[in-house]
Structure 1
Amino acid sequence: MRDKSIKEIEQSLFQLENISSEVRHQLEDDSRKGVQALLKRWDERHAKKQAIVEKYLQMSQYEHGLYKKGDLYIAGIDEAGRGPIAGPVVAAAVILKPDAALYGINDSKQLSKSRREQFFKVIHQKAVAIGVGIVHAKIIDEVNIYQAAKQAMIKAVQELDIEPDHLLIDAMKLPLEVPQTSLIKGDTRSISIAAASIIAKETRDRIMTELGQTYPEYQFSSHMGYGTKAHLQALDEHGPCPEHRMSFAPLHK
């Protein structure tokens, strides 16, 4: 190693997924500070990758347990849009391929917009089936948001092209004749539920962006229907539109 420049070592080192004990000893014995800095950087990057893999394996435990029991089509289910004062609640049901390997996937709220968009595309590529259920503001006002979210989830399951063998649901039980498991904070504990949370969130964001073009005075694309200061100010100036949830504070007042 000492006969190589630091640049040459960097180029070869960061192409390696693992370092042999021999190479590590050579790097550790190299007295150049630049080489030691490279080794530290590689170790940090490797540790980060390992953490992502371990998190993915941890989040795959429910799926793998069901695969072992003979359940092939496992649908993760989640929703987006309970909290906003405008727009629909959207649910998604996602059946992933067993070898999907979506490393880095997590609850949609834990991901940046760009990462959600990347995963949205990859999930569509690596899913066996995807179903989406949408329940609009009028129905939310009629039945309450909890029941509306449940309706959206049922619709999402019904939209699947394949009948699921088992449902993994984020904190909900559905009145369906399908074996199911309800997981508290399921979007951080199951890759299938996390995938569903991303599909639901991105689908809803796109709906709100389109509604923002229909009702530009509310700037829906900037807050997605949540009760931000700008949104409340627009309500004071223009009053509500058909997409507002009149049963939600401050609208019901």
Structure 2
Amino acid sequence: MIDKLRERPLLVAGVDEVGRGPLAGPVVAAAVILDPNKPIEGLADSKKLTEKRRQALSEEIMEKALAWSICRAEVEEIDKLNILQASLLAMKRSVKSLSHQPELALIDGNHCPQLDCAMEAIIKGDSKEPAISAASILAKVARDNEMVEMDEKYPGYGFAKHKGYPTKQHREAIMALGITEIHRKSYAPVQRQLSL
């Protein structure tokens, strides 16, 4: 069915999420439908780009894409559902929020959210499919920017630097300062601090 769909021009959304590994902050997903008439040079897996390049590409994607959307699942949802289900929920929200609904959604990874269109999960899709690359860039820039803001709200944790990931600095800050309301209480290093 997917192969038949790909035989004609159709609206294809790339979908990716960022933030499954961090101990703090939301998981953020983006969906992007690229415009074939407005190519964007240099789309790649967001993790392989410099911060400056990601930021520039993010602005270009928002300007040139036929449709784009950035959505999230909150810390409370991650703790309630688990990170996989919360990631799928954020992806579903991002596709549903697009101004044009796609006929096919290309999802990064090996799990698909529940959607009303055809879907294909692509492992390492962010380095294979330009629309998924674009989604990964939007999601990463949005989440990183939010964690920089959280650094001001919760000084001492180093959120601007590690973006909530479990670095040595972050784990030591949790031990010294305790946990904040943006920490994921279902994650082991945070749970350990809660049980002290």
Give the TM-score taking structure 1 as reference length: 0.72
Q: How does 1:182-193 map to 2 (within 5 A)?
A: 182-193=121-132
Secondary structure of the 2:137 match is helix
C-alpha displacement of 1:148: 0.5
Give the TM-score taking structure 2 as reference length: 0.92
Q: How does 1:29-178 map to 2 (within 5 A)?
A: 66=6, 68-71=7-10, 73-171=11-109, 172-178=111-117
C-alpha displacement of 1:227: 1.1
Secondary structure of the 2:188 match is coil
Q: Alignment length, in residue pairs?
A: 188
Can you list the C-alpha shifts for 1:48-71, whole angstroms capped at 9, x where unaligned?
xxxxxxxxxxxxxx9xx83x4231
C-alpha separation between the residues in 2 aligned to 1:228 and 1:182? 30
2:165 paired residue number = 226
Can you list the C-alpha shifts for 1:31-58, whole angstroms capped at 9, x where unaligned?
xxxxxxxxxxxxxxxxxxxxxxxxxxxx
C-alpha separation between the residues in 2 aligned to 1:251 and 1:125? 39
Structure 2 residues without counterparts, runs of 5 or longer: none
Secondary structure of the 1:99 match is coil
C-alpha separation between the residues in 2 aligned to 1:92 and 1:70? 22
C-alpha separation between the residues in 2 aligned to 1:93 and 1:176? 12
- Report the aligned-residue RMSD: 1.4
C-alpha separation between the residues in 2 aligned to 1:89 and 1:168? 19
2:182 paired residue number = 243
Letter in 2 for 1:151: L
Letter in 2 for 1:150: L
Greater length-normalized contact order (CA 8 Å, ≥ 6 residues apart): 2
Which of 200-209 and 228-237 deviates more?
A: 228-237
C-alpha displacement of 1:206: 0.9
C-alpha displacement of 1:189: 0.7
C-alpha separation between the residues in 2 aligned to 1:104 and 1:238? 41
C-alpha displacement of 1:99: 2.5
Runs ≥4 in structure 1, deviation > 6 angstroms?
A: none
C-alpha displacement of 1:116: 0.5
Secondary structure of the 2:102 match is coil
More helix by share: 1
C-alpha separation between the residues in 2 aligned to 1:128 and 1:224? 30
C-alpha displacement of 1:159: 1.1
Letter in 1 for 2:147: M
